[in-house]
Amino acid sequence: MIGFGLLGTGLVAPFHARALQASSRAKLAGASDVDAARLDKFTGDFGCPGYATLAAMLGNPAVQVVNILTPNHLHYEAVLACARAGRHVLVEKPPAMSLREVDAMAEACREAGVQIGVVLQCRVRKPIQAMRRAIEEGRFGRLLHADAYMKWFRTAEYYRLDAWRSLRRAGAGVTVQQAFHYIDLLQYLAGPVSRVDARMSNLAHPGVELEDTALAFVRYRSGAQGVVQASTALWPGTDIRIELNGENGTAIMVGERMETWKFRDERPEDAEVRSYGSAAVATGATGPADFAFQDHQALIDDMAEAVTAGREPMIPLSSARHTLEWALAMYQSAKDQAPVELPLRDEAAVW
Ligand SMILES: NC(=O)c1ccc[n+]([C@@H]2O[C@H](COP(=O)([O-])OP(=O)(O)OC[C@H]3O[C@@H](n4cnc5c(N)ncnc54)[C@H](O)[C@@H]3O)[C@@H](O)[C@H]2O)c1
């Protein structure tokens, strides 16, 4: 059993804790938060030691992996501190706020000889894995379109829960905070983008100084094109859609279920693929805690195995770098009201 310590005991922490409780490879070895009341409640609920600081938690040798569950802009410093202490890291999305930070984190972990994985748990959904296999096997033929549609809803109270949730610089806009998962799925499936043309607006949260809606037209390096549509303004919130269209096939995931799976070369196993997922499983459309912990558990189990085997985790930091670059390019494009070519030349201009 590999011991995991949680840094941050806010909204997402119980999902990690439940995943650890359900795991046969990993266990909850401690938790830390600067907010003493939150920490007390959490350690009471989950029965683990609590620490007022990260340094104190790192003093516990049973903590072999630290899950970074602090607000987005605080991930960077925490990852560096964990690496310096020789601890493996599983960092929530987005891994950091700039490519420079991502590269420094990668370097620190490499130097310390520790693994770093990113919590982009939507990749483990069965429809996504089936789409990825079909792409690798060439079943789509030439990929023509790869799109993400996220028509979600968040209340005004959600943005007031914690100060960072209404800070653009903390990545709390819809582009980085919610749509990051689906931008990641597009780059995971359809490959990197070479051009992004984005517009952003605030449609339903007038008290909040960040975008609750983003639209982008993208060109993939492969030649395919696509759309990213993301919003937390669209009541009551409906399930996300990931759509792939190629010369020889179309696949559409809605929420976590396969809605459309059609190829010119129909195979016997396709009938089963069409049954993947369930409309009854919530995937975040209507509220921030409106999802299941099983996808997190897959990543935690994998991290425990990776540490034991001395291999990279399933979603290494390097595989999430382009997701951040794409999101940053959307901000740059919306700011300039003009298309942006990738690789990004001056990311410092984004925020
Ligand atoms: N993968 C997912 O589906 C998913 C879902 C929700 C949130 N997240 C991510 O998880 C992270 C946390 O989000 P959240 O909604 O739980 O936020 P939150 O504000 O509810 O919780 C963050 C906690 O970190 C604590 N904290 C702040 N600074 C700290 C420090 N220096 N040391 C220790 N604790 C500190 C805060 O007191 C708070 O309790 C974010 O990066 C977010 O994007 C991911």
Residue 174 lies in a domain: yes
190 and 307, same domain (yes or no): no
237 and 329, same domain (yes or no): yes
pLDDT > 90? residue 152: yes
Q: Give 259-278 pLDDT, tens digit per residue.
A: 999 999 999 999 999 999 99
Domain that holds residue 305: 2-122+294-316
182 and 97, same domain (yes or no): no
Domain of 92, CATH number, reads 3.40.50.720
| Alpha carbon nearest to ligand 1 atom 41, residue | 72
79 and 203, same domain (yes or no): no
116 and 129, same domain (yes or no): no
Tell me, in angstroms, the distance from the centre of ligand 1 to residue 68's CA: 8
Residue 342 lies in a domain: no
User: Are the C-beta atoms of 174 and 231 separated by less than 8 Å?
Assistant: yes
Q: Give 77-91 pLDDT, tens digit per residue.
A: 999 999 999 999 999
142 and 233, same domain (yes or no): yes
Q: Is 74 in the pocket of ligand 1 (CB under 6 A)?
A: yes
pLDDT > 90? residue 34: yes
| Alpha carbon nearest to ligand 1 atom 37, residue | 35
Q: Is 184 in the pocket of ligand 1 (CB under 6 A)?
A: no
Rounded to an integer, what distance in angstroms lies between the CA atom of residue 137 and that of residue 133?
6
Q: What is the mean pLDDT of residues 61-69?
A: 98
Number of separate domains in the chain: 2
Q: Is 35 in the pocket of ligand 1 (CB under 6 A)?
A: yes
Residue 267 lies in a domain: yes
Q: What is the mean pLDDT of residues 315-338?
A: 98
The predicted pLDDT at position 167 comes to: 94
175 and 142, same domain (yes or no): yes
Q: What is the mean pLDDT of residues 130-159?
A: 98
The predicted pLDDT at position 318 comes to: 98
Q: What is the mean pLDDT of residues 287-308?
A: 97
192 and 111, same domain (yes or no): no
> Mean pLDDT of all residues in the chain?
97
The predicted pLDDT at position 201 comes to: 98
Tell me, in angstroms, the distance from the centre of ligand 1 to residue 275's CA: 34
Looking at ligand 1, which atom is closest to the CA of residue 177? 43
115 and 207, same domain (yes or no): no
User: Are the C-beta atoms of 212 and 204 separated by less than 8 Å?
Assistant: yes
280 and 304, same domain (yes or no): no
Instruction: Please state, for a pLDDT cut of 70, what percent of the chain lies above it.
Output: 100
Q: Which of 230, 222, 267 is nearest to 246 (CA)?
A: 222
Q: What is the mean pLDDT of residues 155-167?
A: 96
Q: Beta strand pairing status for 241-246 and 249-254? A: antiparallel
Rounded to an integer, what distance in angstroms lies between the CA atom of residue 155 and that of residue 288?
10
Residue 189 lies in a domain: yes
Tokens of 262: 């059609």
Residue 264: DSSP 8-state:
S
The predicted pLDDT at position 52 comes to: 98
Q: Is 71 in the pocket of ligand 1 (CB under 6 A)?
A: yes
Residue environment code for 50-82, b if the CB has 16+ CB neighbours within 10 A, otherwise e: bbeebeebbeeeebbbbbbbbbbbbbbebbbbb
Q: Give 213-250 pLDDT, tens digit per residue.
A: 999 999 999 999 999 999 999 999 999 999 999 999 99
244 and 182, same domain (yes or no): yes
The predicted pLDDT at position 265 comes to: 97
Q: What is the mean pLDDT of residues 8-21?
A: 98
53 and 184, same domain (yes or no): no
Q: Is 121 in the pocket of ligand 1 (CB under 6 A)?
A: yes
Q: Is 10 in the pocket of ligand 1 (CB under 6 A)?
A: yes
The predicted pLDDT at position 207 comes to: 87
Looking at ligand 1, which atom is closest to the CA of residue 291? 3
Tell me, in angstroms, the distance from the centre of ligand 1 to residue 6's CA: 10
